[in-house]
Chains A and B, each alone.
With several copies, the nearest count.
Chain A
């Protein structure tokens, strides 16, 4: 039902903010994923997107629950772990006037979902693909995901020794037409990039660093306070989740600068905002920049690459004006006479 609104508080689609709401979040307090969900609500409201013109997809994970927390009036499908890409691909053909918005996790995308992710990209499927990236498996209680940096320590998991997957690098290598990175605690930038992603016609990969309050911690951090430091206490018994505030950047984070951000566990990450002059239309630039950042241990945020020229997956098919899912029997079942012709053809 359209909520009755005060005309003063409606957007250009005539809808109030409440029309963009989702269910109450069941994620941890302070989880980065919550702010991303909030930004989706804000952006959709501000852009005046009609929620019925969006469909939401996700896999399985804390991150993949997010779509339940925004845009109640949009269709949503919380599918299988790691399989959002194919689910969305099929749905894209039903009504190309509905925009697809997907939310996945780093485990969902970079571990189990790597194959589908890469192929979705190389087909330039028209959808916004957000990775809520926290370097761990939140929902299964804190194992390494494939984006965990080398040397990260997690209780009962030991130390990660494998090279991390860089979501943006993977997207670029797979010929993505829009690649950006942001930080859940930088609402201003996130909002801008979300708007850009939603406006892109083609695959828009948005890697959002979204700290897990609860599990992405190291030995020296909260969970390891003296009592339970001993490795032999099974992880699944650590059932107390402290209520921590979300990590937020202060507003004045300038383009081109590097900022140290302290995580819940006391570790520090280096976030670098792309320079104003950075030209995101060159793939060569993009590769070079990511390589440099990796070498410096920076997480570069901003719009890394964009190419608006390429036809999208559904552009490649010559679909009718009417949405495919509104075609009826007369459109879909060839006439009786044609079958006679076919039978005649069958020797």
Chain B
């Protein structure tokens, strides 16, 4: 047997969708996390409710690399339908656990093979018959616990969490885990090198998914109105609002300082948000690509009428319905240019669950300050997977409600004001909102041409001046959006520019590049568009900058080429989209291949 490999391998669990294995999978993930081992979990699930194959991969990385890996040292096979593939997927020297009731031959000799009496142990469990299939998943938890050395206490903590401390289910699940562990101890002989050991590398981290974080961020950002329409992978964002708002945002006398509404479609969801944003509420909607496509016309109106709204786009693989349960970063060019005519949209690009929280509140400040839609571009990987992340940080600045005039302001101005006038030289005008009872407060909002007083106008010069002011406002956005995070290394030959959920893969790839004898790299993680000064400076200071992204067309590369044409020749695309999060190996290879050219 080879040397032990500790806390540095991947486990993939192959099950049937709807079989309840998610509970077992996140229990494993959480137990490892509680052991202090850096872990990440990727759920690869089908666009179906029950019956199709589904996989869950847990990566343990003592060095803290949380990107997806393509390799699986350990595979747990519970699904007859994918059994062959799953067996083939085990790395040589790895381990294969499988339910012994699956009637298929296991003919690899280069790996350790462990049958598990899943059915038998589940039958022995102390639960009602209808829960037996569900609890059967705990068998592999127990077997893995024994064979990999996962702490039972940590498993119990994970189950406690999952079942909100309810004794009965924790007890029955833990019972199965223990029985399975005992069975494994007696019946299986370890013949693979992979082991877990406690560390303390997860201190100061929490675990959450990006959609929950986004919802919480929005709540701490004072969201007052959210309209949504169900769509994978965005639904759980709005559903988390439904979960947490009642806990966090009721007044002393039990009134709700918010409203969440499930609309009849995305056209209406964004329309409602625009109505609410116009009337002075912090308003949002959350959706994915198909929904964004349907929101196009309203996004243009919000841009043109200068209405603050926040739109979360939890991206999935497109074009079209595409792969609804797979991840991608394919909506960048669409959103950047969203709306016919000359529209320019402001976009935030969160890269971590913590940043989902941060942009959850910050997006409202930006939207209200800019009187414009703000799009937050998350993705399925970030939004729906559990990630270890730094704790959510309480907003570090007071809410910015932007330039809103209320009755007393208008009294001071003797009622003299103009809705679309640039008084401050930043392109941002003042606004009033419905409910303001000052007789000079009202104005008539429209998506058609208007002068500074919001009066209808078709005058060419008036039109052009107003649009020029809005362009100036977009310039102001450039100074307000979050700056990129830049990591420079001495002697770096190349730049890497990426964003969003690629971050762990890029961070790891920088190391892998070095290990492969490739170039030293500086790294700019973009956090918003339009891009700030720092971005062009970064590009300018590198002969070659690789734009790493999870889409086919190098969308950010295209956007940056358009935005910073002088630097465009320095940009190189490293892009690829197959529905899965990027791996560090792929990033390394994509860069190396071009370095060799």
Contact = CB atoms under 8 A, between A and B. Distances in A.
Direct contact of A and B (CB under 8 A): yes
Interface of A: 1-2, 19, 23, 26-29, 50-53, 55-57, 60, 62, 67-68, 72-83, 85-95, 97-98, 111-112, 114-116, 119, 137-141, 143-144, 146, 156-158, 214, 222, 225-228, 230-237, 239-243, 317-321, 323-327, 329, 331-334, 336, 338-339, 342-343, 346-347
Contact of A1 (B20, B249, B440): B440
Nearest to B285: A90
A91 B441 contact: no
A241 B439 contact: no
Given A140-B235, A214-B49, A323-B435, A94 B19 contact: no
A94 B433 contact: yes
A63 to B, nearest CB: 12
Interface string B17-51: 11111110010001001100000000000111111
Interface hub of A53, A232, A342 (most chain B Cβ within 10 A)? A342
Contacts of B206: 343, 346-347
A90 B283 contact: yes
Interface stretch (B253-261, B344-352, B526-534, B552-560): B253-261
A93 B225 contact: yes
16 contacts: A2-B439, A26-B46, A27-B49, A68-B444, A75-B436, A86-B271, A89-B272, A91-B279, A94-B280, A94-B433, A115-B265, A119-B263, A140-B235, A332-B257, A342-B216, A347-B206
Nearest to A19: B439
A332 B49 contact: no
Interface residues of B, number: 121
Contacts of B168: 226-227
B239 interface: yes
Contacts of A140: 230-232, 235
Contacts of A74: 442
Nearest to B320: A80
Given A90-B272, A143-B230, A324-B257, A116 B49 contact: no
Interface string B211-234: 010001001111011010111100
B394 interface: yes
B321 interface: yes
B249 A334 contact: yes
A282 B161 CA distance: 54
B164 interface: yes
Nearest to A139: B49
Interface of B: 17-23, 26, 30, 33-34, 46-52, 130-131, 133-134, 158, 161-164, 166, 168-169, 206-208, 212, 216, 219-222, 224-225, 227, 229-232, 235-236, 239-240, 242-244, 247-249, 251, 253-259, 261-283, 290, 297-298, 301, 305, 320-321, 384, 391-392, 394-395, 398-399, 415, 432-448, 455-456
A226 B165 CA distance: 12
Nearest to A347: B207
Given A74-B442, A143-B262, A83 B283 contact: no
Contacts of A2: 439
Given A116-B267, A141-B230, A237-B26, 7 more contacts: A28-B49, A139-B49, A140-B231, A234-B212, A234-B240, A235-B236, A332-B282
Contacts of A29: 50-51
B275 A87 contact: yes
A82 B52 contact: no
Contact of A90 (B30, B277, B301): B277
Contacts of A325: 224, 279-281, 433-435
Contacts of A28: 18, 49-51
Contacts of B247: 232
Interface hub of A51, A93, A97 (most chain B Cβ within 10 A)? A93
A320 B275 contact: no
A78 B242 contact: no
A286 B130 CA distance: 44
